[in-house]
Amino acid sequence: MHIEALYHESRGIYAYPVAADTLFVRLRTLKEDACRCNVYYTERYDYSDRLNIQGMELLGSDELFSYHGAEIRIRSKRFKYFFEITGSDGEKVYYTGMRICREFPPNTLTGGYFQYAYINEDELPDIPEWVRDAVFYQIFPDRFCNGDKSNDPPNTKQWGTVPGSSDFFGGDIRGIISKLDYLESLGINAIYITPIFQSFSNHKYDIVDYYSIDPCFGTLEDMKELVRLAHEKGIRIVLDAVFNHCSVKNRFFEDVAEKGADSRFSSWFFVEEYPVVKYPVANYETFGENIPDMPRLNTCNPEVQEYLIGVAEYWTRELDIDGWRLDVADEVSHSFWRNFRKRLKAIKKDLFIVGEIWYNASDWLMGDEFDSVMNYPLRQALVDYMAFGETDSENFVLSLKKIFFSHRRYAPDYFLNLLGSHDTPRIMTVCGGDARKLLLSMAFMMTFTGIPMIFYGDETGMEGGGDPDCRRAMQWDMQVGQVEILEKVKRLISIRRSIPALSYGKTEFPDANREKVFVFKRVLESQKITVLINAGEERTEIVLDGDTVRYKSVYDLWNEERFMCRDDGSFEIGVGEFGFRILLAE
């Protein structure tokens, strides 16, 4: 046994409460050791020889390691514990907080057991359950629909022309209102809207006035009407919080630019020296690298925290919205987000807080900051596998497992999964215009762990390269091929929302992946779903586990003749074309 590979710590993603008296513990071992693991545990102040023992579940493996987990329960909420690991070679060791040994460790408070001192109420998972049933739709207001031409900005471009970085197309809040029936028919029940507050740009990520809705988008009453009508249809509304930076024309920064160090807002920003120099190279910190129009805010400053959190509190109350998406969340101070969560959840307990993090987000998902993050790592893995064909199914699964094992066990259930956004090329373009690849990507997203989100227009196969091309005006006059894509996406969303296991089930990866055929299961009590996706161009055969003979076809979205279940339980998948199938246990 390779004892140097053993790893656990009594915090973070390795030990955390899942109920008022229940702790989840995770242990890492070397994959090739094929270990069996037990956890011994007792009350923190119990010094007797009476120890509880519980076998640990093998959660799965990545390239190098295996991960084992168990839920342990003590009514006092105080824990001390250690692990017993038995390797495939028969070697047995005990892993405590102090050492790895071959003798059964004594039970004392200071004897080196791992300890979780006490489960406090504010450490428990507190994520709104409505999110598990959600299918999100992201809207970039200027490009979705023009419902009121009277508020169009000067030089508004003709709808559908190629967008430039500074162009306006006239989309607005009344346009979104006019398309609520469309979204409802699509199956959408949650909308994430990029910034709506006053700004001189089309994207509104450089906010001038946090307390005003941009007049090009409409009025406060328009926004209240949108939320009210959406709620009547069972559709939630999530807005964009841009608190990392603001506009160079924001009154706070203008005061600093005018008065220099004498400005009472000088500590709200990071100015290197005075006077303030904006162009060509800013002498203050900005969003990104030298973007003078977006000065970076000092979110460690208590005054800045109070002002910005007050903004979120105001709009949450005024509009009765259902959540906030947090822009550039990883550059804002942790203390800010902890205060943000406490104060916003006090207003609306089931408010959904989702951060923009493009990599491992475990530090923000410990229960005191975000409920969720935008799952860009999953998007990249899917694009590499499905669109570019750069990875096979085995490596794709490893990428997915890495996301799972890098976070608390429940966290991926709430991740906002996406194929594209206003910051990425369109999925149809990434797929080289191949509708089959787009639909298979959609099929994966609608059946996999997490919350699916569609970027406006992706449901019809809209194309577009990087920013600003990915922000084209929504194409409402659809071609025949787009209508066909739309109908299949509708069916996928219907499947997602009609099968509880796809929203609430545990995800399993049976050892049945072959080259470009990807298989996974969603299991919820007696309901077992097997999803088979063929991302290759050739006929492929796979054999599932012994449960295979108990499966029957429930949903087969296209090319039904390609999927043949044989008497021996094997499946023939794919005849020169992409394919997708869902199987439901009888």
Q: Which residues are catalytic?
A: 327, 356
Q: Phi and psi of 312, rounded to 5°?
A: -65, -40
Question: Strand pairing partners for 68?
Answer: 27, 58
Q: Phi and psi of 252, rounded to 5°?
A: -70, -45
> Between the CA of residue 486 and those of 197, 475, 478, 564, what are the distances in Å?
31, 12, 10, 27
Question: Strand pairing partners for 198?
Answer: 209
Cβ neighbours around 160 below 10 Å, total? 13
Please report, as a single letter, which amino acid is at residue 123. Answer: E
Cβ neighbours around 164 below 10 Å, total? 11
417 within 8 A of 450, measured Cβ to Cβ: yes
**Alpha carbons 456 and 418: distance in angstroms, whole number:** 11
> Between the CA of residue 443 and those of 24, 210, 579, what are the distances in Å?
32, 38, 10
**Alpha carbons 198 and 212: distance in angstroms, whole number:** 6
Exposed/middle/buried for residue 571 (C-beta within 10 Å: 0-12, 13-18, 19+): buried
Comparing C-alpha atoms, which of 497, 361, 502 is closest to residue 444? 502
**Alpha carbons 586 and 271: distance in angstroms, whole number:** 66
Question: Strand pairing partners for 539?
Answer: none
Cβ neighbours around 71 below 10 Å, total? 16
Cβ neighbours around 193 below 10 Å, total? 22
351 sits in which H/E element: none
Rg of the Cα trace of the chain? 26
Q: Which two tokens stand for residue 297?
A: 């805010």
236 within 8 A of 323, measured Cβ to Cβ: yes
Hunting for tokens 């586990």 — which residue is that? Answer: 545
84 within 8 A of 94, measured Cβ to Cβ: yes
Maximum distance among all Cα pairs of the chain, rounded to whole angstroms: 82
Could you tell me how far CA 14 lies from the centroid of its own chain? 20
Q: Phi and psi of 355, rounded to 5°?
A: -100, 155
507 within 8 A of 519, measured Cβ to Cβ: no
Residues 6+ apart with CB under 8 A from 532: 517, 518, 519, 542, 563, 571, 573, 579, 580, 581, 582, 583
Exposed/middle/buried for residue 117 (C-beta within 10 Å: 0-12, 13-18, 19+): exposed
> Between the CA of residue 36 and those of 29, 90, 318, 340, what are the distances in Å?
10, 10, 55, 43
Question: Strand pairing partners for 232?
Answer: none
26 sits in which H/E element: strand 22-30
